[in-house]
Structures are given as C-alpha cells and as structure tokens.
Amino acid sequence: MLSAKAKAAGDKIKSLDQDDLHSLSEMIQHEVRHATDMLSDRAKAAEARIRQFAEDHVDDVDKYRKKTVKAVNQFADDHRADVDKYRQKTVKAINENPVPASAIALGVGLLLGLILATGNKR
C-alpha cells in the first residue's frame, strides 16, 4: 500500500488544473535552462583555464624537447665511432665465419620464437 505521504502527493496531483500544470512546466523549463547555462559557463571557464595552462607551459615543453634532442645527439656523436667499430668487427666476423654465424642466428631466432610463443599462451 501507499504511505500517507504518497497518498497526499497523489491527491495533490489530482487536484492540479491546467494552469497549475502549465506553471509547473514553465518552472521546470526555467530550472533546466538555468542548470544548462551554469554547466555551460563552468565548461567554458574550465576550457579557458586549460588553454591558459597549455599556453603557459608550451615553452617549457619546447625547452625540454630541445634539451632532450641535444642530449640524444650528443650521445650519438660521442658513441658513433664505437658503434661503427663494433659494426665493422661484427661484419668481419660474419664474413670470416658464415656457417657458424648462420647457425647462431638460426638458434637465436628459434629461441626468441619459443620465448614469444610461450609468452602468448599465458
């Protein structure tokens, strides 16, 4: 059964006439518009804050990007000779011993394939 409050609310609704319903409808529409406007204003304010934050920090990001590029280039310059020396040694060893080099490459490939296949089953 309905509670006393629910019955009273039902009786109140039954007693509303056309003007009352129209008035309630207008009040609800006004409240919805007001809530929508408030949300819109808050969203615009949040967007403005985000844009300002991005503008304020774009120089920092660019500074760090340049610093990182410089560090990577410096590392590459410092180690280019070493990398080239080891590459030449590797190519020489492969050319002098093609069969063992091919066997090693095949073994490493099989081992990696097994490791990757086992990892996918988990």
The helix, strand and coil proportions of the chain, stated in percent and rounded to the nearest 5, come to 95, 0, 5
Whether 3 maps to a domain, the answer reads no
In which band, very low, low, confident or very high, does the pLDDT at 122 lie, cut at 50, 70 and 90? Answer: low
Give the mean model confidence (pLDDT) for residues 98-104. 92
Whether 38 maps to a domain, the answer reads yes
pTM of model > 0.75: no
Amino acid identity, position 57? H
Q: What is the total count of domains within the chain?
A: 1
Over residues 49-58, the pLDDT tens digits come to 999 998 888 8
Over residues 52-86, the pLDDT tens digits come to 998 888 888 889 999 999 999 999 889 988 989 99
Whether 41 maps to a domain, the answer reads yes
Whether 9 maps to a domain, the answer reads no
Domain interval for residue 47: 20-121
Whether 67 maps to a domain, the answer reads yes
pLDDT at 99 over 90: yes
